[in-house]
Amino acid sequence: MKRFCLALAILLLGCSKATSTGDWKNAPVDPIKPGAVVKLRVAHATNPRLARFSPDHLRIVLASAQLTMWKHFGIYVEFTDVAETGIDQLFAVIPPSIRAARVESIYDFKSGKGDRHMLAAGIHNTLTERKTSLEDALTFAAPYLPDAHPKDLMSLSESLSTIMLERLEHWRHITAADGTPVIDASPYNEWVYWDTLGYGNLQYDLVLTNQFIASAEYYGVDIHSAIRGGVTVGTTSYSRNSQYSSYVFMSTFPFTDTSENTRQLRDGDYSEELAAELAGAYLAHEIGHLLFQLGHPFGQKSCVMNPASLLRFREWFNQINGQDCPIGSRPEMRAGAIPPSFNQDWVKMTPQP
Ligand SMILES: [Zn+2]
């Protein structure tokens, strides 16, 4: 999960009328109990301009997620058949009124109109809201920061916002197979919209996508995404149509992309099979957010809930060990650590059919 508990972050930040007002609540949902069998509804939303996993490799992704869930959480996860959809169709479920309200939360890096101080303040709010200690944050992030010894969380947030924007600029130069930039004028790279899909009539618990999600926004930016340059691998966000009150979206792009930018953040090249296996294991991290509402034990390398550093998924995978990081072993690993939150006003604005 890149960002999850956004309600308080927005209230503290007070970044815009559209998002600082409103009635934010935690969704009343009980975490799943160990030993349960759960069935998740899966879709694959694709952008035709970008490389994608084949159906066979998608099966590897899901099998790997299933195995990792079993080994780390003792939960047997079943998946529906994968529904194929276009990314344009998927984005069409976002109610226009909520989409308009959310625009102000986006740091507009494409036009260069963004408020750097608000970005740093937003990161600080996320760290504070999630009770991230400076020590844990530095265990995770110090090797990747120009200033390895920030004096407090605000200095760290400023450092993170700087590196985030620098690296995000690099991502703008990578190109798709058709020779045009992967990040184009379309809204599909913007995390904020992915974080909004669940207010619409979304019928999936997991959305896998080949879309590259890289952006900056004034709420919800966490350490691991910032040091990648705003790149999201996966997030667990509110969803009105899910029994878990949230849904997972996960981008396969960081696993399959072979651009120099990606390779610099990765730990060597991956075959397509390995990429699928690693993507599946990382999907289990998101399913841990979905089913148990777990947080991020930053720097605890045995924990599947410790985010991967940069895009070093093989290293992450080789270090995780469920026996050394059971549910309940740390505050972030307690079921219900980060309950899904949502804006009640937005739900009222869009009655379901
Ligand atoms: Zn996470």
CA of 4 to the centre of ligand 1 (A): 8
CA of 180 to the centre of ligand 1 (A): 31
The token duo for 103 is 């625009």
The tens digit of pLDDT for each residue in 166-221 reads 999 999 999 998 899 999 999 999 999 999 999 999 999 999 999 999 999 999 99
Rounded to two decimals, the pTM is 0.91
In a domain, 18, yes or no: yes
CA of 140 to the centre of ligand 1 (A): 14
In a domain, 106, yes or no: yes
Quick one: pLDDT band at residue 10, thresholds 50, 70, 90? very low
* CA–CA–CA angle 161, 126, 172 (5° rounding): 35
In a domain, 321, yes or no: yes
Alpha-carbon gap, residue 247 to 236, rounded angstroms: 5
In a domain, 85, yes or no: yes
CA of 225 to the centre of ligand 1 (A): 10
CA of 331 to the centre of ligand 1 (A): 15
Higher pLDDT, 290 or 23: 290
Nearest to 99 by CA among 234, 4, 213, 199: 199
User: How many C-alpha atoms does 71 have within 13 Å on its Cβ side?
Assistant: 17
Query: What pLDDT, on a 0 to 100 scale, did the predictor assign at position 114?
Result: 92
The tens digit of pLDDT for each residue in 210-254 reads 999 999 999 999 898 999 999 999 999 999 999 999 999 999 999
Domain hosting residue 343, numbered range: 6-349
Please give the average per-residue pLDDT across 99-112, as a whole number: 93
DSSP letter assigned to residue 42: E
The tens digit of pLDDT for each residue in 115-158 reads 999 999 999 999 998 888 999 889 888 888 877 789 999 999 99
Query: What pLDDT, on a 0 to 100 scale, did the predictor assign at position 174?
Result: 95
Asked if 348 and 100 touch (Cβ cutoff 8 Å), the reply is no
Quick one: pLDDT band at residue 352, thresholds 50, 70, 90? low
CA of 283 to the centre of ligand 1 (A): 10
CA of 332 to the centre of ligand 1 (A): 11
CA of 281 to the centre of ligand 1 (A): 12
Query: What pLDDT, on a 0 to 100 scale, did the predictor assign at position 16?
Result: 30
In a domain, 77, yes or no: yes
CA of 18 to the centre of ligand 1 (A): 26
CA of 201 to the centre of ligand 1 (A): 24
CA of 178 to the centre of ligand 1 (A): 32
Would you say the C-alpha torsion 104, 110, 116, 119 has a positive or negative sign?
A: positive
Q: What is the mean pLDDT of the chain?
A: 90
CA of 309 to the centre of ligand 1 (A): 12
Q: Is the pLDDT of residue 260 over 80?
A: yes
Query: What pLDDT, on a 0 to 100 scale, did the predictor assign at position 47?
Result: 97
Asked if 161 and 230 touch (Cβ cutoff 8 Å), the reply is no
CA of 306 to the centre of ligand 1 (A): 7
Instruction: Indicate the burial class of 289 (C-beta count within 10 angstroms; 0-12, 13-18, 19 or more).
Output: buried
Per cent of the chain over pLDDT 70 is 93
Which residues are paired to 251 by β-bridges? Answer: 209
In a domain, 97, yes or no: yes
Q: Which residues lie closer than 8 Å to 35 by C-beta, 6 or more apart? A: 74, 75
Please give the average per-residue pLDDT across 325-335, as a whole number: 93
In a domain, 133, yes or no: yes
In a domain, 157, yes or no: yes
Asked if 166 and 261 touch (Cβ cutoff 8 Å), the reply is no
Number of domains in the chain: 1
CA of 335 to the centre of ligand 1 (A): 14
CA of 303 to the centre of ligand 1 (A): 11
CA of 6 to the centre of ligand 1 (A): 14
Asked if 283 and 250 touch (Cβ cutoff 8 Å), the reply is yes
Alpha-carbon gap, residue 231 to 207, rounded angstroms: 17
CA of 114 to the centre of ligand 1 (A): 26
Would you say the C-alpha torsion 119, 138, 326, 268 has a positive or negative sign?
A: positive
CA of 179 to the centre of ligand 1 (A): 32
CA of 89 to the centre of ligand 1 (A): 26
CA of 265 to the centre of ligand 1 (A): 18
